[in-house]
Structures are given as structure tokens and as C-alpha cells.
Amino acid sequence: MPTPDHRLLNGIPVKTRIIDEVRDYTDRQDTMPRLVSILIGDVPEAAVYVRNQARSAKAAGLPFEQENWPGDITQETCKARLLEMNDDPTVLGIILQRPVPEHINVRSLQSAIHPLKDVEGMNPASIGNIVYSDVALAPCTAAASVELIKQTGLNMEGLEVVMIGHSEIVGKPAAMMLMAEGCTVTVCHHMTRSVPMHSRRADVVVVAVGKAHLVGPDMIKPGAAVIDIGINQIETEDGPKIVGDVDTDAVLDVAGWITPVPGGVGPVTVAILMRNAIVAHQRQIAAGWL
Amino acid sequence: MPTPDHRLLNGIPVKTRIIDEVRDYTDRQDTMPRLVSILIGDVPEAAVYVRNQARSAKAAGLPFEQENWPGDITQETCKARLLEMNDDPTVLGIILQRPVPEHINVRSLQSAIHPLKDVEGMNPASIGNIVYSDVALAPCTAAASVELIKQTGLNMEGLEVVMIGHSEIVGKPAAMMLMAEGCTVTVCHHMTRSVPMHSRRADVVVVAVGKAHLVGPDMIKPGAAVIDIGINQIETEDGPKIVGDVDTDAVLDVAGWITPVPGGVGPVTVAILMRNAIVAHQRQIAAGWL
């Protein structure tokens, strides 16, 4: 058996730990309301995500229901159905799978999901609460990157973090969450004059851009941690392959820690979704909903 | 008459321009609903703010009403009154003056103000919308600092901005707004290892900490712009004096632009409040409220 590479920051044990914590909670409940996953139209690329979520929910002791809504459903009908679920005490949380058909305004639908049922942390009100350092229902991928940085054991206070990518669902909320942990955060993006000038001084580089091999070893300070959120399909001699935004093999020679793709941020993201579900449960109880 | 110092980034002409724009709008309306300012208890330090707001509202053609609520009012009564105002079409926007008495949870009250009436941009949902680059009803001080940076004529895209201070009402939302403008933003705070290491490489330094003379000339790159959000009262030989977080006289020798205190960010903040009021008006019309 080959020695494991300790520079690889594996997401699987982190996922297992979180799922076990959720299971401990659900085991102590008489009954748990269900998570509802919604697919609108025919979205084969979402199938693997849904399958993973269903599997993790089962392991965590959370009922999980998959709804498929027709591709020609109207925005109004979607919204009405979501509002019904907000009022339904048997629905614990709502997961709106993306992408949605072109005629659907996804952000408006996300806003229609009540913050207490917004287990994906996508409602603008949920994200506003992150600014107020109330990170309970945070966007799952952003929270997963924070969890993996903590896993290194680095002291978060004063940690120099450079985030590459300023998307609404990852870069910006992750930056806010890292600030709340005491990190000094710089957010770089496609208009930044020199991304390497920033990334080379960082203790931790978080990359969420969606470009294969964007980050090479010349951009990383020796010993730094690299969190790779990208998921890109590339063609190789052996057929298609999933890679992140980091040239993992080359950066391994420089970095202190690096999350592999697949097997790094991805598994932890699903686990955070389950953790959000029990936080939602506790909040709904506190609010007198359950 | 002495030559004006062109390094001083004066807020008064910016305020005047914005108020004139608001006036143009209100002049074209048959009638405008009113802004309501709420003071809870006896808050002498808020009086000067309220007076400034009332004066600016008058100049902008916006009806302005001052309400004084008793210092022993309950949280529940406050909330009930705010919800009534949310439903009252004669109320355009609600301004909750701070500080509030200790027994009042200000954040909970801010959350009770409907986002369409939240002219101060303090509701977490409003702040969440900033993350989504929808900057319409932004926190006024944060928006004022962005407005003053634009006033320099510097190209916002790729601009290196260092924010000192990561408060919820200024630092974090301003960072989000600057990212939306294309700036590369670093947020420093009391846990940052070396603030000067960051501030010395910045094209623009925004300071919102609340410590007199925190920023000296050794922290600023020659030619950079310095936006001073601090308001501190210090004792001098000539009695008490209001100063910012920047040692303005000393930094003037290095900086390309610097906002004076008073007379920099403050006047623009009040003008942004009035601009938020007409944005709220347009949104309420669009939502069928008016």
C-alpha cells in the first residue's frame, strides 16, 4: 500500500466527520422533516449532484425527496410551490438544483425560499446575515472551503488569504466568512492587475474561477495551503477527465497543503448541506415552527 | 483668497451635485411620501445628524418627519410601529437613528424595516443584495466612500483598494461594492499582521476604524487616494476637535487625494441617504405600492 501524500488535503474524512455529527443529531430526534430537492426540466448534469446529496442525506439520517418539475413550468407556479413548502412543516429545507431553464429567474426563486429553509444559503437575506458574521446558513461551497482551511490547523487570526474569483455564491461569501474568522482577505478577479503578485504572498489561496490549470507553482508561496474549488472537464489522451483550477501535480511541489479535485471541496460541500439542514431544524424549532 | 488645496477631496460639491439630482427627481413628482427619522430615548449626540438630514431632505424636496420614541419603549412596540410604517404608503423610508437604548436590539429592528423602505441600507437582506452586485439601497457611508473614489477620476477596474476596518455597516459592504466596480480589494482589521504592508501598496486606502491619527504618511503610497471615514473627538489646546482616522496634515504631503474630516465623507453620506430615498420611491412604484 503506497504511503498517503500528506500534502493532499482530502475532503472525504472531513465529510465523514460532519455527516457523523449530523447523524448524532438526527438519531436523537423522534422524527425529522424532509429535504426537498427540486430539478426543473431535464438537467442530466445535475443528476450526479442529486445522487450524492441523496446518499449523504441517507447517511445523515435525513429524509430526502426528489421532485422533478416540468421544463415549461412558469415562474409563478414555481414561486407558488416554494411558498407552499415554506409553510409546510414536513419540509425541512429546499434545494433548488441548477441550472434552471432559461425562462426561469433563479435568483427570484432563491429569494422566495424562506431563510429558515434555505439550506443552500442562497437567499440574499442569508448572505446578508453572513456580512453580519452570522454564518449559520452559509452557501455550502464557501463554508466547505473555510472548513478545509481549518483542517490544516493554521491559526485563522491574521491569516493572509487570497481568494481568486469573486462570484456571488463562492468568492464573496467565502471572503466574508474568512473575515469573520479573523483572516486578512484579498479578493482577486479577472480585472485584477496581477493575480500572482497577490497569490504569492498568501498563506492560503482559494481558487474558484472555473479554468483548468489557472494556478501553477509560480503563483504559490512555498508551504502555503491551496483550496481548489474549480470543477472543469478536460480532454486527455485517456478520454475526458475532471480537474480543478489548480495544476495540482505541479503545485504539490510547492504547497504545504492542496485539496485534490475530485475528492477535496466537493465532498465537504455536500456534508455542509446536511449540517445546514440540522441548523435549519434547530432554528425552526426556536422560531416555533416545529 | 488662498488657493484651494487640490489634494483635498472635498465632499461638499459632491453632496450638492447629488442633492440637485434628487431635487430634479422630486420636482417632477406631484407628491412625495415622507422620510421618517426615529430617535429612541434621549440621544443628544444624534441631534446633529438628524438636523443635517432634515436640512438635506428639505433641499432635496423630500418631506422629513422626526419622531421621538420614549427611552423605555419595548422592543415589541418598536417592531409593531415599524411594521405599521412598512404598510403605510405615506412613509417613503425609515431612518433608525443610533445609538438606541441598551435594552433594544437594533439589528432585529433593522431587519423589521422592509428592504424597499430601508433607505439606510441596514437590513441584512439589503446587504445581501450588495453581495449580488445589486447596489441600489446600499449602506450610506459605504456608498459615500465609493462615490468619493469615483470623484478622483481613477479607473475603478483593477484599482488596488485596501480597506482598513471590517465593520458590518462600512468596511464589509464597501468592500463588496468596490468589488462590483472592478476593484481588487483587501480588507484589513485589528488581527491583520501588518496593515502598512497592505496599505503601502494600495492605490486607494479607505479607513473606517475610529482611532484618531491611526494612519500616518509612512502607510501611504505616494500619489494614492485616502478616504477617511473616521469621526473622532480629541482634546487640543484650543478645546475639543473632530478629526478622522488619518493624520491629515502629514498624509497630505504623500497622498494624491485625501478626504478632510469634517467635510469629506460626512456630507456625501447624507446625500446618499436622499438618493436612496428616490431609489426606494422608484422601487415602491415598480412594486405597485404607490
For residue A12, tell me if it sits in a domain. Answer: no
The answer to whether the annotation marks A281 as part of a ligand binding site is: no
B185 has a chain A CB within 8 A of its CB: yes
Q: What is the rounded (10 degree) CA torsion for A249, A252, A258, A262? A: 20
Cβ pair B186:A189 closer than 8 A? no
- Which chain A residues are within 8 Å of B160, Cβ to Cβ? 193
Q: Which pLDDT score is estimated for A134?
A: 66
Q: Which pLDDT score is estimated for B136?
A: 62
Q: Which pLDDT score is estimated for A138?
A: 87
- Which chain A residues are within 8 Å of B183, Cβ to Cβ? 191
ipTM for this model: 0.90
Q: Which pLDDT score is estimated for B198?
A: 98
Cβ pair B128:A131 closer than 8 A? yes
A128 has a chain B CB within 8 A of its CB: yes
Q: Which pLDDT score is estimated for B128?
A: 78
Cβ pair A186:B185 closer than 8 A? yes
Q: What is the Cα B3 distance to its own chain's centre?
A: 29
A151 and A261 part of one domain: yes
B286 has a chain A CB within 8 A of its CB: no
CATH of the domain at B17: 3.40.50.10860
- Which chain A residues are within 8 Å of B130, Cβ to Cβ? 131
Q: What tens digit of pLDDT does each residue of B237-278 get? A: 999 999 999 999 999 999 999 999 999 999 999 999 999 999
For residue B190, tell me if it sits in a domain. Answer: yes
Cβ pair B128:A132 closer than 8 A? no
Q: Where would I find the beta strands (DSSP E) of B180-238?
A: 184-188, 204-207, 225-228, 232-236
A91 and A168 part of one domain: no
Alpha carbons A286 and B187: distance in angstroms, whole number: 34
CB–CB contacts below 8 A, A to B: 98
For residue A76, tell me if it sits in a domain. Answer: yes
Q: Which pLDDT score is estimated for A135?
A: 54
Computed on alpha carbons and rounded to an integer, the radius of gyration of chain A in Å comes to 19
The answer to whether the annotation marks A213 as part of a ligand binding site is: no
Q: What tens digit of pLDDT does each residue of B41-73 get? A: 998 888 888 999 999 999 999 999 999 999 999
Average pLDDT over residues A165-180: 92
For residue A69, tell me if it sits in a domain. Answer: yes
A220 and A103 part of one domain: no
Average pLDDT over residues A220-247: 96
Alpha carbons A282 and B129: distance in angstroms, whole number: 26
* Chain B residue with minimum CA distance to A181: B191
Show Cβ contacts of residue A253 under 8 Å, excluding neighbours closer than 6 positions: A217
The answer to whether the annotation marks B166 as part of a ligand binding site is: yes
Nearest CA to A137 out of A159, A160, A154, A113 is that of A113
B247 and B277 part of one domain: no
Cell of B82: 415599524
A184 has a chain B CB within 8 A of its CB: yes
Tell me how many domains chain B contains.
Answer: 2
What's at A13, amino acid-wise? P
Domain interval for residue A34: 30-115
Q: Which pLDDT score is estimated for B10?
A: 96
% chain B with pLDDT above 70: 98
% chain A with pLDDT above 70: 98
Nearest CA to B139 out of B263, B276, B284 is that of B276
Q: Is a pLDDT exceeding 90 seen at residue A128?
A: no
For residue B3, tell me if it sits in a domain. Answer: no
Q: What tens digit of pLDDT does each residue of A59-100 get? A: 999 999 999 999 999 999 999 999 999 999 999 999 999 999
CATH of the domain at A155: 3.40.50.720
Q: Which pLDDT score is estimated for B160?
A: 98
B258 and B242 part of one domain: yes
The least confident of A20-34, A43-57, A73-87, B256-270 is A43-57
Which parts of chain B register pLDDT below 70? Answer: 1, 133-136
Q: Which pLDDT score is estimated for A60?
A: 98
A59 and A92 part of one domain: yes
Write the CA distances from B7 to A29, A175, B143, B149, B213, integer angstroms: 65, 33, 21, 13, 18
A171 and A260 part of one domain: yes
Average pLDDT over residues A155-166: 97
* Chain B residue with minimum CA distance to A172: B131
B231 and B279 part of one domain: no
B259 and B156 part of one domain: yes
Mean pLDDT of chain A: 94
A111 and A152 part of one domain: no
Average pLDDT over residues A24-52: 94
For residue A10, tell me if it sits in a domain. Answer: no
Q: Which pLDDT score is estimated for B168?
A: 86
